[in-house]
Structure 1
Amino acid sequence: MESFVGFIHIRYANLKRYFDTECSVKKLLFIFVASCVIWYYIGARGRKDLREPCQFQKVPFSSSVMETLKLEKEVKCNVWNSFVYFDNTGYLSLNHSAIYAAGFNQSQLTCEYAIVIMDGFHGSKLVDKTILIKPTYVPNDFVYVVCKTLNRKTVYANFHYNVNTEINKRVLLPDTQDQLNIVILGIDSTSRFLAEKQLPKTLDFFENTLKAYPLKGYTRIGDNTLPNIVAALTGKTLVESVLSTSGYPSLYKEILKRKYIDCYSEDWAPFLPPHLVKYPNYTHYLRSIVVASKQSEFKMFQQTFNNNNTFETQDEKLCFGNDFKHNIVLDYGKQCIEKYRNKRKYVFMWVTELAHHHPEYLSLGDNDAHSLLKWMHETGKLTNTAFVLFSDHGSRYGTLTEHEIGRMTKNLPLLSLYLPPHLKSRYPHIHRNLKYNAAQLTTPFDLHETLLDIFTQNFKEKIDFTDNCILPRGISLFRRIPNRRSCYDASIVENYCPCYSYQPTNADDKVVQQSAMFVVSKINEMISKSPFSCKTLGLIEVVSAKIQRIPQNSNTNQRSSVRYVVVFKTFPGYGIFEASVEYSHTNEAKLIGNIDRINSYGNQSRCVSEQDFTYTSLRQYCFCA
């Protein structure tokens, strides 16, 4: 996953010490510098186009991109059966049919389970080991099971889970027509475009059958997962969240104040450090076994009698033992919804691995996401529930980004919102505004304001924004978002603003070639300052280029400039990169934003340790000598 997630995760303790009361001067200096950087990118330069009302680019569709999204091979996870299982009442039992199918009988095996708990934030440990003979009640959500033969050879090892409501010690209140449940399903690296192609059953059922509202102008505000999710959950930028001294963020205060149960389900351990967004540990938190699965002492496999077959995890990116990771995330969330029926619920599910590296794998989750929604609909679980289906950003690298449509849509992640019919009928302005906002420029800050409105029952109609008022950074989607809203108003930096209009230009143009060479020199400058042995990169060719002419800003007398977006290939390693270069009226070149690697680099950067989060961002650039 993204380097900055890990960097913030690892460095948080240092940041906290850095910003304590004894370092007030440093704190003020940091705030000043951070403010200058933000101001510089968001508007100090008076960029006319950034302040203009948004006009979304038309996305050119190419049939060739569909070939990119086809699965090259069948992916399976459930190639072996579990020797134990949880029933709905929390009892753990032996699965005799699976044991017999593997060639064993019960007298040949001893199965032992242990409860899995967190050991700090980065590890898990086992407690209360118990031999499993008959159905046994487990007062916890997670266990690790090992089955051995009479000669002590391990033939089965796996994690098992069950949402146990006895873990919760807080008083909970029932959901009502005004105090809605909130269920959120997030899928990493999924643009609206990609979701429409790879999740057709899910989107058709959600938006056409259930009448959920698609927000097609939803735009990322940061490069990777963390800034976009932090904005949605806290209403703050990363810098604001790190510096915040206000305790729990507003959403979590409402969860506690209004007596909701809280469930959090994820498939990638470093994703969202609770300490960054000032959350305590969630009541039901899948992280325990996700972290444990990465520890070498915990294996997941099954052997058959006489070692005829050994079944192991088929694909560590997609599978967790004998099931898909996304299925475990969805099922854990589903259990929370079922076990706490009629109680107020906040359920957050986040699927990282499915589409993060391979957008073509997203289709593997279509039937499962559709099944969850259909189950909630048919069992009445949506009666008093707001359901958010969303993402953080589109594909940032991989085969899809090698196509123009993939690069254009990575700034437009998926967002679709379901509200129960009774709410829309009692507050018709919400229906009108959400229909209108479908084509407006929206952000994670807006999603945060919307979630707050749901928690606080803030459904009454509000007056529209006047033409001359300053628009707030975050606007609830229940309000009508003005046409005049710009990327500047919404705090979307230039790199991610989807409102710019570009024209294709000749890749052989002298300035285009010069721009690509300029970016390559910037990459070499970065890697030359690192402690790793990275080879100097050279330019092979410019793959494609676009141009945007930026008119003079009459308010600042800033002269017109021109920007090139270049996609180019380098050697050694055949890396493909995308970057933006702007030329002022004096022809001075300036790099705008990040240099993105848009194809896989495999083990080319093996000399850059994945464990050293400070340098992880260099992995996309470094070809190790």
Structure 2
Amino acid sequence: MVRPSKMLQTIFLVILCLWVNINGLGNGVVQQYYVNSSVCKMPYVDPFARKLMRKFQRDKLKLCHKDKGIVRSVFDYEMQQYRLQINENVARPMLETRKNATLECVYQKVLRNNTAKEPDDTYITLQSRPIVHQQLVPRDTDFMVTKCYAKDIKNSTELLQEDAMTFIQQMWPSTEKVRSQPSVLILGLDSVSRINLRRAMPSVYKFVSRPGWFEMQGYTKIGDNTFPNLMAVLTGHSEKGTEKVCDTSKPGCLDTLPFIWKRFKSANYTTAFAEDCESINTFNYLKGGFVKQPTDYYLRPLLVAIENNFNVTKRYGLSYCVGRQLSSSYVWNFGKQFIDRFLGRSPMFGFLWSNSFTHDEYTGATALDKLFLKYLKSVEETHLFERSIVILMSDHGQRYNLLRRAASGYFEERMPMMFIYIPPWFRLKYPALVENLNKNRNRLTSNYDVYMTLQHLLQLDSKSMDDFPDDLRAKQCPTCQSLFFEVPLNRTCQMAAIEEKWCCCQPTETIRRSPHVMTIALAIVERMNNHLQEQQLTGLCHNFSLKKVHKVDRKTILSTGLKPADKDEHVYIIEFSTFPKKPRFEATVRWNNRTNKLLDMDVEDLSRLNSYKKDANCINEKKAKIYCICKDSIKQERKLTSARRSLYTLADWFRCLYYRFKF
């Protein structure tokens, strides 16, 4: 006979098991969600999943130099100017190895060439001038390059050290608006998902988990790479929407767009913009750049000058050391000067973006963790967080390599980090707005909402989105809104202007067996080849032939209140590779099982899951680089004869039969 205590335990376990099954839980763990509504279920992802962490690697920070600078700059608060100082103690050991040598240091002023057709890609260096210890830097000097030489008795010189310096020193008078208008500083790290921040940069994550920080856990990107995502944040435009206005590859186009810093400038803010790795700058890589300097302070002229003249060391696939300094240091030091000069004296808007550590390899983030934490603490010491709204964000997560191929890779790519800091005075003055922001942490949000939030900061007396005129709305998302107003719980991706491809709201199931899989994959490849013909790229790019289907997921379309789709229509996420060179792609497509038709697939929306850096040098179209395999990238490649093409086609049909049985 079973004792009552044992019977009760048995009943409890049965009830627990039933509850687990009913709630769809795995491994006895309650299913958690970033967003959980009737129209959007965005599942929680464990950043430290065992299978991924077995392969996850960490890297160490490597500094660019071990010596101290011979020339340094310090700000003279009495004169409100920078001074140059020569540290002879640093130079002395260098001179002692060169008999009877003396030290000679000079500087060259670096300017933006505003008269050039493409000013963003040019610079001017003025004549060298000698540096005198403790000399004042002229107020109109933004950038300079310094060089120190050992000069012998025959007047021969040997370069000992060269450096580059930035100067933000023009002071603005205090105004009443400083007290009423929050300063805004956006700090960006390329390709960092909210998931990977936790595993790769735990020190930084701990910092942004403190009171006052709000993480947008349902924040989802709206485009593939940096340009469309930052355009949405800074202008309210999508990439396709911008193309209807003007050609972004032509100089002058970007100047006509409603960048948010223009509105901040018109509201008497002082503005700044800096981004490292000049060759891939967001608004210059295959783009026309700015003809008119976009902000009051703009780092690009110096970066173009030094990356073309200094010794550049590459790491993580990009410029890592430029001269004696980390590439990213120029951005962060520039930002620190901006904060030092204007915090408490003028409302300021700054946009600081770094690519060098994180753009290509996830391990770069692990090396950056403690260094970036040090930077955050240094700006904290300036009292930035007492007075300003600070946004720490990214454009997207890793788009290829280990993290993208992991089980969580789908979310890894689509969910960039987005943390918003609200200072104490703002929380006290606008408690209702902050409460709305807190509610929105677990609502579906997009880049356009951030744009509207920035707009809101310039009209904080607004009671609702009805107070925003049409010209201040995000052009490609009229229904998007400030995060200081409550986002609807039943919000869909369509309402947030997130396309089906990027939407993470619908749960997926992995398809193990289906007669449609291979047919769909072959139809995708056929569409890709047709696209090459339509774009007249067959002379440069190889036709594709299906190699392998790696994974197929099918979305469970939740009720959206819209007219139901054809019951035979499904959304598939197919991961596959092709010949030649085995590029790996992911396609999100709609397929009708009854008509066997691929619906509305845009080849330019394909995701590339491995690097295309060595495959697409024959073409300068940014989107085409993702899917073009340049013919000249394959050594000793022979032209396909008609017979060989037939063999490829025959092989495709054999693979079709194989996959029909497999799936």
| TM-score normalised to structure 1 length | 0.79
1:372-392: per-residue Cα shift (whole Å, max 9, x none)?
Answer: 332333442222211111111
Aligned to 2:311: 300
Could you tell me whether the CA contact under 8 Å between 1:86 and 1:162 is conserved in 2? no
Paired with 1:521 and 1:155, the residues of 2 have a C-alpha distance of: 59
Q: Distance in 1 between matches of 2:348 and 2:436?
A: 26
Which of 75, 81, 103 does residue 88 from structure 1 map onto? 75
SS at match of 1:223: coil
Change (3 A) 1:74 1:349: closer
Give the match's secondary structure for 1:455. Answer: coil
CA drift at 1:164 = 2.8
CA RMSD of aligned residues (A): 3.4
Structure 1 CA distance for aligned equivalents of residues 556 and 197 of structure 2: 32
Aligned match for 1:56, one of 42, 47, 51: 42
Q: CA 1:578–1:618 in structure 2 vs 1: closer, same or farther (change >3 Å)?
A: closer
Deviation at 1:492, TM superposition (A): 1.2
Q: Using a 3 Å threshold, how does the CA distance of structure 1 residues 539 and 338 change in structure 2: closer, same or farther?
A: same
* Residue of structure 2 equivalent to 1:360: 363
Amino acid at match of 1:92: L
Question: Aligned pair in 2 of structure 1 residues 74, 255: CA closer, same or farther (>3 Å)?
Answer: closer
Q: Amino acid of the residue matched to residue 474 of structure 1?
A: C
Any idea what SS the aligned residue of 2:588 has?
A: strand
C-alpha deviation, 1:58, in angstroms = 4.1
Q: Which residue of 1 aligns with 2:500?
A: 494
1:588: Cα distance to partner?
0.5
Residues 413-492 of structure 1: matches in 2 within 5 Å? Answer: 413-458=416-461, 472-492=478-498
5 Å-filtered alignment, 1:216-615, equals 216-241=217-242, 243=245, 249=258, 251-269=260-278, 270-272=281-283, 280-295=293-308, 298-300=309-311, 316-343=318-345, 344-458=347-461, 472-506=478-512, 509-526=514-531, 529-530=536-537, 533-548=540-555, 550=557, 555=563, 558-584=566-592, 585-590=594-599, 591=601, 594-606=605-617, 608=618
| Pair 74,266 (structure 1): closer, same or farther in 2 beyond 3 Å | closer
Structure 1 stretch displaced more, 579-588 or 132-141: 132-141
1:114 pairs, out of 103, 108, 122, with 108
SS class of match (2:442):
coil
For residues 228 and 279 of structure 1, the distance between their equivalents in structure 2, rounded to whole angstroms, comes to 22
CA-to-aligned-CA distance 1:428-469 (integer Å, 9 cap, x gap): 2123211210000111111112112222333768899xxxxx
Matched AA of 1:540: K
In structure 2, distance between residues paired with 1:72 and 1:257: 44
Match of 2:28 in 1: none
Cα deviation, residue 330, structure 1: 1.5
The TM-score, its normalising length taken from structure 2, stands at: 0.74
Please give the alpha-carbon distance, in whole angstroms, between the structure 2 residues aligned to 1:100 and 1:518.
Answer: 71
Counterpart amino acid of 1:54?
Answer: C
Q: Which residue of 2 aligns with 1:46?
A: none
Runs of 5+ unmatched residues, structure 2 = 1-36, 77-81, 114-118, 247-252, 468-476, 638-663
Helix, strand or coil at the partner of 1:503: strand
Alignment check: 8 A CA contact 1:172 1:260 kept: no
Measured in 2, the distance between the counterparts of 1:176 and 1:431 equals 20
CA distance in 1, matches of 2:177, 2:162: 36
> Which secondary structure state, in structure 1, belongs to the residue aligned with residue 365 of structure 2?
helix
Which sits farther off after the overlay, 220-229 or 155-164?
155-164
- Give secondary structure in 2 for the equivalent of 1:446: helix
Contact 1:523–1:621 at 8 Å: present in 2 too? no
- Cα shift at 1:547: 1.6
Distance 1:94 1:477 in 2: 49
Contact 2:149 2:159 in 1 (8 A): yes
What residue number does 1:14 align with? none
In structure 2, relative to structure 1, the CA distance for the partners of 1:293 and 1:545 (3 Å cut) is farther
CA distance in 2 between counterparts of 1:147 and 1:300 reads: 16
> Matches of 1:539 and 1:248 in 2, distance apart?
41
Helix, strand or coil: the match of 1:382?
helix
**Post-superposition offset of 1:181:** 0.7
Q: CA offsets per residue over residues 547-589 of structure 1, 9 Å max, x none?
A: 2255899837644312321222334423222112321131112
Shift of 1:109: 4.5
Distance 1:320 1:175, change over 3 A: farther
Q: Which residue identity is paired with 1:232? A: V
Distance 2:462 2:93 in 1: 56
Cα distance 1:278–1:499, how it changes in 2: closer, same or farther (>3 A)? farther
**1:142-153, aligned counterparts within 5 Å?**
142-150=143-151, 152=156
Contact 1:146 1:154 in 2 (8 A): no
- Give, in whole Å, the separation in 1 of the partners of 2:355 and 2:496: 26
Pair 1:125 & 2:124 matched: yes
CA distance in 1, matches of 2:239, 2:583: 30
Counterpart code for 1:395: Q
2:18 is matched with none
1:77 to 2:60 alignment: no
Aligned equivalents of 1:341, 1:550: Cα separation in 2:
49
| Distance (whole Å) between structure 1 residues aligned to residue 558 and residue 39 of structure 2 | 15
Shift of 1:480: 0.8
Residues 234 and 277 in structure 1, CA contact (< 8 A), matched pair in contact too: no
- The 3 A distance-change label for structure 1 pair 248 and 547 is closer
Q: What amino acid is aligned across from residue 272 of structure 1 in structure 2?
A: F
Q: Secondary structure at the match of 2:181?
A: coil
Q: CA deviation at 1:514?
A: 3.1
Cα distance 1:373–1:177, how it changes in 2: closer, same or farther (>3 A)?
farther
Q: How many residues align?
A: 551
What SS does the corresponding residue of 1:438 show, helix, strand or coil? helix
In structure 2, how many angstroms separate the alpha carbons of the residues matched to 1:52 and 1:314?
Answer: 46
For the 8 Å contact 1:177–1:422, the answer to whether it is kept is no
Distance in 1 separating the partners of 2:242 and 2:606: 26
**2-structure distance, mates of 1:231, 1:247:** 15
Shift in alpha-carbon separation, 1:94–1:378, aligned structure 2, 3 A: closer
Change (3 A) 1:474 1:87: same
- Residue 306 of structure 1: aligned partner: none
Instruction: Answer yes or no: is the 8 Å Cα contact 1:206–1:373 preserved in 2.
Output: no
Q: 1:349 to 1:250 in 2, by over 3 A?
A: closer
Q: In the superposition, relative to structure 1, how do residues 541 and 159 fare at CA in structure 2: closer, same or farther (>3 Å)?
A: same
Contact 2:190-2:354 within 8 A present in 1 as well: yes
Against the structure 1 CA distance between its residues 365 and 605, is the aligned structure 2 distance closer, same or farther, given a 3 Å change threshold?
A: same
Distance change in 2, residues 1:164/1:521 (3 Å)? same
| Structure 1 residues 512 and 476, CA gap change in structure 2 (3 angstroms) | same
1:433–1:603 Cα change, 3 Å: same
8 A Cα contact 2:546 2:579, kept in partner? yes
